[in-house]
Chains A and B, each alone.
Chain A
Amino acid sequence: MKCQQCDKPAVFHITELETGEVRELHLCEDHARSYLNQSEAAEAAGEEQQAGGGLTGPLSVGQTADELAVLDKKACPMCGITFFEFRNQGRLGCPHDYVHFEKELEPLIANIHGASEHTGRRPERSPADGAALPEGTEELTGVIGLRRSMQEAITHEDYEKAREDRDAIRGIEDRWLGGSRRNAATPTTDDPTHET
């Protein structure tokens, strides 16, 4: 691939994220350097950086377009968001993304916060309620994937699978949200097993 500014081979592949727009740049070493210096200079000039500004910086330098393409297709098994969609919108799809994309998010988060470890408050543990245990997060995010799977099964009229998914959802919710106080909105009227 040629540099977009001259005839030298492009060795730098830069992805810029700007207010919901993705711009890909393929540049030779010289042009990449002057480009990056430029954006640094703009920042140093005290240009107001909006919240979320960290997201709009170059994602990474030196990654090949192929590597980026593969990364972009990586999708969260729970909510289904791809890394590409996240880069486009600047918003994650579900809490599990922080686990699934941990490696990719690490440099981004470090860039935004200048830190990569939470030291603040934690949810209070109150075993009586069970609900507030942080360990519940991991298991509860599973419900997001199960709900998608259940919808898909219903679409394919695979009611047995839908029933399994529903039971799995109920199991997790009962364990972490408390059986009697489970969300009243859990399917009753639109029960997938209720064949009409």
Chain B
Amino acid sequence: MKLDTLADKVGEWLRGTGPESDIVMSSRVRLARNVPQYPFVSRASEQDRVEIERFLRERIATVPVGRQLESIDVGRLEEIDRQFLVERQLISREHAEAQGARSVAIDGLEQVSLMINEEDHLRIQCMHSGLDLRGAWDQIRVVDDQIGRVVPFAFHPRWGYLTACPTNVGTGIRVSVMLHLPALVITRQIDKVFRSLHKISLAVRGLYGEGSQAMGDFYQISNQTTLGKTDEELVEQVGDVVPVLIDYERRAREFLVRETQQNVHDQVSRAYGILRTAQTITAEETMQLLSRVRMGVLLGLIGDVTISDINSLLVRTQPAHLQKLRGVELDTKDRNIERARYLRRHFEGGASPAN
């Protein structure tokens, strides 16, 4: 697969479509699986890792879903290409930074991604745009079943699917939604919301997974436990709380418009202004400002930009994407200049300069 051709497209989670896509960016389900005839990855020898990777890749290629995937040898990629896949959420940061034989298989729509030799031998991920946990779950079940027919997954009658970390044992499932919650942040209600989520065993993370900082008011909500409940129950556990959060965010947005219309209008206009005129700008500031502009578009305060436009800028202004689109490697300082230039051109032209 030519990664450069991906740079011109936006991946599934940034399409900006699907139910509730004004607040829910994407819905994701992942399953952790291992084969019993090898040690877990952290304890596997270099030779083991080579064999695990080959064993899984070859067997997966024999089933219908596997035939639609393209495999990428992550170990042989340049650092910028690995970073590129992280920015598109096709691999984890851990997978990008790991050592030894490892790969990822991706479908053309960038909905399905199979990481081999991440923390577990196999991590299956399905990602859909907007609020569509049901759809992602239905899809991943098929993938899991087909692979399970040709790969013996490590399974224990009492503990379920056996994983490298006991925090994933049982179903091995992580159900998550990525939400854009700017109004809850502005009205300072976000911490309260997170505390109550924590009480019902849900985890909150930033945009790029475990340990990442929440940037630009984007948050991932996911299940914390994996054992004792069925996969469906865990999908519902996350799914049930999303409408509540959507309702909170909508009310906070209404409140902002009603009570502080001028202030909000001022804030989003200034954000828009900086994005259109800055001469040098960091990825963090860009994301923060794009988040504000995104809210402005949704509140009808900014008219000439679309949500899918903003979504695509969110990923294209990330360091690796920026360099891929420019076609040269740049240091941080030059990236900030290039990022500002890219944004200016984008907003001047009204259309994506990549097209």
Q: Show the binding face of A for B, using Cβ within 8 Å.
A: 46, 48-52, 54-55, 78-79, 81, 89-96, 98-99, 105, 108-109, 112-124, 126, 129, 131-134, 136-138, 140-141, 143-144, 172-173, 176-177, 181, 183-185
Contact = CB atoms under 8 A, between A and B. Distances in A.
B225 interface: yes
Instruction: Identify whether the interface residues of A are mostly helix, strand, loop, or mixed.
Output: loop
Interface in B26-79: 34-40, 42-43, 50-51, 54-55, 58-59
B145 to A, nearest CB: 6
16 contacts: A46-B198, A90-B165, A109-B227, A113-B169, A115-B170, A115-B228, A118-B156, A119-B228, A120-B229, A122-B155, A134-B157, A137-B155, A143-B38, A144-B37, A176-B152, A185-B54
Contacts of A172: 37
B38 A144 contact: yes
B299 interface: no
A115 B50 CA distance: 35
Contacts of A52: 165, 167
A138 to B, nearest CB: 8
Nearest to B56: A183
A114 B155 contact: no
B60 to A, nearest CB: 13
A48 B198 contact: yes
B272 interface: no
Given A98-B159, A112-B225, A137 B154 contact: yes
Contact of B166 (A96, A105, A143, A173): A105
B38 A94 contact: yes
Among B36, B119, B155, B234, chain A packs the most CB atoms within 10 A around the CB of B36
A128 to B, nearest CB: 9
A119 B229 contact: yes
Given A91-B42, A121-B230, A184-B54, A131 B151 contact: yes
A81 B39 CA distance: 10
B159 A51 contact: no
Lowest 5 CB-CB distances: which A-B pairs, in order?
Answer: A115-B228, A118-B160, A95-B154, A140-B36, A185-B51
A54 B203 CA distance: 13
B326 interface: no
B176 to A, nearest CB: 11
A134 B33 CA distance: 13
B258 interface: no
Interface string B266-280: 000000000000000
B6 interface: no
Contacts of A109: 159, 166, 169, 227
Interface in B148-164: 148-162, 164
A109 B160 CA distance: 12
Contacts of B58: 184
B173 interface: yes
Given A120-B160, A134-B155, A126 B149 contact: yes
Contacts of B204: 48
Given A118-B157, A119-B230, 5 more contacts: A54-B166, A54-B167, A79-B39, A115-B225, A138-B36
B51 A183 contact: yes
Contact of B224 (A51, A93, A116, A138): A51
Interface in B110-162: 119, 141, 144-145, 148-162
A90 B210 CA distance: 15
B217 interface: no
A181 B54 CA distance: 12
A115 B169 CA distance: 11
A79 B40 CA distance: 9
Interface in B165-192: 165-167, 169-171, 173
A92 B164 contact: yes
B300 interface: no
B151 A51 contact: no
